[in-house]
Amino acid sequence: METSTDQDILKVKALKKMKQNALALLGVAVLLFIIAIYFKIPILQAFSEAAMVGGIADWFAVVALFRHPMGIPIWHTAIIPTKKNEIGENLGNFVSEEFLNREKLEIKLDEFNFAVKASDWLSQKENAIKIANVVSVNIIPGVLNTINDEDIKRFIQVQFRERLDAINFGDWVAVALEPLQKGELKNQLLTNLFDVLSNELINNKDLIRRKVKDSTPFLSFGLADKSITEGVFNGLYDFLNTAKDPNSEVRAKIDEYVYDFLDKVKNSEEMRVKINNLILGFTGKKEVQDYINGIWDEIKLSITDDLDKGEESKIRNSISGLIQSFGEGISQDEIMIAKINNFIKEDLLSVLLNNKKVIGDLISSTVKSWDGKEVSEKLELEIGKDLQYIRINGTLVGGIIGLVIYGVEQIYHYFII
């Protein structure tokens, strides 16, 4: 792909070649003039004289646009560098008056149908991928590098704390536990709980025995610990089996305790405050705070790792798919197309028209800020090649006119004198 520097080099070469062609044609005219004088050929002399005059005159005209011919500061030469400010003002006025015209802009915008063209472009997969690449390679990493991690962590901490302070955990607990006051559900939960405890008690009988043995006097020689172990185990086991029965006295006391606790949670402000303080106190622990701080680090690391996968990046592919779907969605939504085109036509048009003087002044001031010599060189590089045809045509047309004048002169002498 050619860069702007490579293009400038090619333009310089093309301009130089055209100048040489124009100069060579003028040289041919000079040579013909010498031949005509030497061999006394009047018609050739008339042609070559007029060709030289035409070529030199047009050379002067072309050069005078960009610089003083042969460095001589002749009046009304080097027009572009010396009249740069006036050119800038005229260009600004021309653009603001001729281009920023409501009627003309409305016609062009209606013909262009920006919404349809934009949606067609976005709905093409390769274009959606291009945008997604720009976002995932440049924008997202740039944003992540710009963000201060400590500020984000502090923001998360503040938001987390404010959200917790706004929550009445007592109400949440009351709502969550309210179904327990319904007899069947509560009874089933308690029965399941006691089943689990019974099984765990059986599975840990040896552990109970060791604990009892470690706690009994050494002089008992293991006689007391066995009896105590059996007593503790059987007592707990009988208690749990009894508690499984919904009609047992143990179950009635448990039901009474659960009911009393739920009633306090639902109706006691003191209990709700205790629950809130308990939960908020837990969230204030260093371990919880460290976990919250680590959330941003994990998010940032996940994003970075995903973007490093290139074409396999889920974020990049999601963005690409979203853009493509957005383009396809617009193309199928006539209302959205009308709204977008109306925005471009009305709102954007209003901005342009309301600021057309500012735009004209911007163009004018920009041109004025340019260096005159640099502007002249850039313009010559862009249009100088085509202007050399003026020199070539001037030489050829001059020669033809010279022949015409010579012919008229001969006819006059032949028929009149």
**pLDDT in 10s for each residue of the chain, 417 residues:** 455 678 888 889 999 999 999 999 999 999 999 999 999 999 999 999 999 999 999 999 999 998 888 888 888 888 888 888 888 888 888 888 877 877 777 787 777 788 888 889 989 999 999 999 888 888 888 888 888 888 888 888 778 777 777 777 767 776 766 666 665 667 777 778 888 888 887 887 777 777 766 666 554 445 556 677 777 777 887 887 887 777 888 778 877 787 787 777 777 777 777 877 777 777 777 777 777 778 888 888 898 899 888 888 899 899 999 999 988 888 888 888 888 888 887 887 888 788 888 888 888 888 888 888 888 888 888 888 999 999 999 999 999 999 999 999 888 887 775
Q: How would you classify residue 378: left for phi > 0, otherwise alpha for psi between -120 and 50, otherwise beta?
A: alpha
Q: Which residue has the tokens 């009994």?
A: 216
Distance CA 176, CA 166 (A): 18
Q: What is the pLDDT of residue 374?
A: 83
Q: Where are the alpha helices (DSSP H) in 4-94?
A: 4-39, 42-66, 79-82, 84-94
Name the pTM for this structure.
Answer: 0.47
Q: How would you classify residue 124: left for phi > 0, otherwise alpha for psi between -120 and 50, otherwise beta?
A: beta
Distance CA 56, CA 398 (A): 10
How far from each other are the two terminal CA atoms of the chain, in whole angstroms? Answer: 70
Are the CB atoms for 321 and 128 separated by under 8 Å? yes
Q: How far is CA 125 from the centre of its chain?
A: 17
Distance CA 21, CA 385 (A): 11
